[in-house]
Amino acid sequence: MAIPGIHSVLDGLWECLAKRGFKARLVSIDHLADLRRELDERYLNGELDEAFYRTYLNHFDFIPPEDMPAAASILVVAMPRPQTRMGFVWRGQKRVLVLPPIYSGFCDVPREAGALLDQYLGPLGFQARPANLPLKPLAAHSGLAEYGRNNLIYVSGMGSFLQLGAFFTDLPVEEDVWGEMRVMALCSACRACLVKCPTGAIPEDRFLIHADRCLVYFNERAPDYPLPAWLNAAASNTLVGCMLCQQFCPVNHPFKGWFDGYVEFSEEETGWLLHGARLEELPETTRERLERVNLGDLIDVLPRNLRVFFPDP
Ligand code: B12
Ligand code: SF4
Ligand code: SF4
């Protein structure tokens, strides 16, 4: 089979990803050093809380995989993602809670992107391998996205309702773009996220948010991390994570009603989850429903998080 020129390979790649609603950019692998330097500088300047840095930012792999010696580029992909509704019945009352975008399908959707890449690039003699990198600066420097004041990434046609993924590839880069990171123009005249943030994580005096104050920093963690005393229980607005800086953002107006799927737990099942049942103790049907929304791995956080909404377990 004749291998097409790189321009038509890339055109075909964008088309293949676009059919699934994904948008992407390809940058030279030389920018791994830029990504690393940017993060190191913030750390060394004391901009990042030490415990936050050690928990979340110390584990990126700024080198391509050993079995890909010809890696030449990084593909960054934005995948549109909806919210999910979850119903819980307790003491005869049903309460519907939101699961923010990206929790459900967190592994499956990037895996699907990887499979699309394998299917398309493989027969053309190219490879793609998942890359564990700081995804937002990568997306912003590549020109795929702009930052919002809430420090989330916005892509045209998706708002911030998206999951990012990155792949090392051996595709050559002929037109490398690595621009300044940009903030959405609308943010200069808007403070909705800052005002709605329940923990004061979005500051007035600098762009970088105080991630160590973000509700998500606490409610995604293992149960031996109680919610801190300064955190008002009323701040919690979703089962895991938080939606406030996205929900009230005017750029997200077209997407904020986008929900995909509904999963309901009976009173008996809600009781098991509230009381800390382990995954393997649950009946298969309950387990399947949790796993359908990818909460099997987060089952440990559910008793603490559910108790905020059902304080009388
Ligand atoms: C650690 C982490 C968290 C932490 C910290 C979040 C944070 N803001 O750092 C916690 C647990 C709190 C968290 C929460 C959430 N997360 Co998170 N998280 C990550 C992770 C693993 C790394 C993020 C990171 O590198 N932070 C470090 C800081 C230094 O980087 P940064 O946030 O990009 O900050 C940049 C800007 O401030 C910029 N900057 C600074 N000054 C200036 C000035 C100007 C003018 C400009 C333009 C830029 C700029 O420079 C910084 C980079 O050097 C990524 C996955 C990944 N591999 O990248 C997901 C990721 C960022 N999370 C994601 C999501 C969805 C969330 C939540 C929305 C989940 C939820 N609904 O509850 C919340 C959002 C909270 C928020 N407002 O940021 C998505 C973001 C999707 C999007 N649209 O942006 C990601 C990319 C996961 C994914 N695979 O898609 N997350
Ligand atoms: S996710 Fe919630 S707590 Fe975190 S910055 Fe946004 S509004 Fe604030
Ligand atoms: S709420 Fe306003 S300030 Fe915040 S990200 Fe959206 S447009 Fe920007």
Structure tokens given for 2: 């004749």
CA distance 99 to 262: 10
Tens-place pLDDT, residues 150-197: 999 999 999 999 999 999 999 999 889 999 999 999 999 999 999 999
Residues 198, 215 contacting (CB under 8 angstroms): yes
**Residue 95 CA to ligand 2 centre (angstroms):** 22
Question: Is 1 part of a structural domain of the chain?
Answer: no
**Residue 148 CA to ligand 3 centre (angstroms):** 6
Question: Is 202 part of a structural domain of the chain?
Answer: yes
Of all residues in the chain, what percent are helix, strand and coil, respectively (each to 5)?
40, 15, 45
Ligand lying closest to the C-alpha of residue 204? 3
> Which residues form the pocket of ligand 2, taking CB atoms under 6 Å from any ligand atom?
150, 197-199, 201-202, 209, 214-216, 242, 244-245
Question: Is 281 part of a structural domain of the chain?
Answer: yes
Helix 267-274 / helix 302-309 crossing angle, nearest 10 deg: 120
**Residue 135 CA to ligand 1 centre (angstroms):** 8
Question: Is 289 part of a structural domain of the chain?
Answer: yes
Range of the domain at 179: 6-309
* Shortest-distance atom of ligand 1 to CA 39: 53
DSSP letters for 226-261 = PPPTTS-GGG--SSSS--HHHHT-GGGTTTTT-EEE
Question: Is 93 part of a structural domain of the chain?
Answer: yes
Tens-place pLDDT, residues 248-304: 999 999 999 999 989 999 999 999 999 999 999 999 999 999 999 999 999 999 999
> Which residues form the pocket of ligand 3, taking CB atoms under 6 Å from any ligand atom?
148-150, 184, 186-187, 190-193, 249-251
Query: CA distances (Å), 97 to each of 20, 240, 259, 308, in order?
Result: 28, 9, 12, 12
CA distance 141 to 259: 30
Ligand 1 near 256 CB (within 6 A):
no
Question: Is 38 part of a structural domain of the chain?
Answer: yes
Total structural domains within the chain: 1
How much is the CA Rg of the chain, to the nearest whole Å? Answer: 21
Residues 158, 151 contacting (CB under 8 angstroms): no
Ligand 1 near 139 CB (within 6 A):
no
Question: Is 75 part of a structural domain of the chain?
Answer: yes
**Residue 211 CA to ligand 1 centre (angstroms):** 8
Distance, CA of 204 to chain centre: 24
pTM of the model: 0.97
